[in-house]
Homo-oligomer: A and B are copies of this chain.
Amino acid sequence: MTKNKIKKAALELFVKGGYEGARLADIAAAVNIKPPSLYFHFESKEKLFIEVFDDLLNKRLDYLNTVRQELNELTSAKDQLRHIYNDYSARAKDNQDERVFWKRTALFPPNFLKERVRNDMIAYERQFEDVLVRPVLLWGMKAREIKRQDVERCIVAFISLTAAAFTEIHYSDPDTYRERLEILWDFFWDSIKS
């Protein structure tokens, strides 16, 4: 389906150049159509961006629940937290484009989307904490696997783990990246385990 191919190409180019840096001509070329043809599928460049963003938002929101399910298979809080964290070490191209698009948009949204992005992002982060991180942490504390302490502080630490991981994507080659993720994880776990 052309529409999806366009969205995929668009995501890739939005990642490379941001909203303003991505030209419709390039997006069209990536799908082997001419620029005007894009307008059969999308009202405007803005709407295209929004659809890409919304798709990803929904995908991640869904993913939250998927992960939530998967956690049930795991018996220790450590494994569960690690499973959540693992999402960040997957380095398949698509996956990574999406993650960079997500972060780029979160940090530097195109002007016309500033408001919405901010709201959606905050809502997503809240879900992430409420559905995944906090329950696991609480459960781990109850099971004495994790030191009793202020959960909210632990959450802040865990979130910043993921933030740091994202930054690393840009600086490190794949191997260093994985290595560093591991280091961060160790620090984190040592800090909170009983």
A175 at the binding interface (Cβ < 8 Å): no
Instruction: Give residues 106-126 of A contacting B (CB, 8 Å).
Output: 106-108, 110-111, 121-122, 125
Instruction: Give residues 126-171 of A contacting B (CB, 8 Å).
Output: 153, 156-157, 159-161, 163-168, 170-171
CB distance from A153 to the nearest CB of B (A): 5
Q: Lowest 3 CB-CB distances: which A-B pairs, in order?
A: A160-B164, A163-B167, A20-B20
CB distance from A161 to the nearest CB of B (A): 8
A contact residues vs B (CB 8 Å cutoff): 16-21, 104, 106-108, 110-111, 121-122, 125, 153, 156-157, 159-161, 163-168, 170-171, 180, 183-184, 186-188, 190-191
B residues within 8 A CB of A167?
107, 160, 163, 166-167
A-B contacts, 26 of them at CB < 8 A, read A18-B18, A18-B20, A19-B21, A20-B20, A21-B111, A104-B107, A106-B170, A107-B107, A107-B170, A122-B171, A125-B171, A153-B186, A153-B187, A157-B183, A157-B184, A157-B187, A159-B164, A160-B161, A160-B168, A160-B184, A161-B164, A163-B164, A166-B167, A187-B191, A190-B191, A191-B191
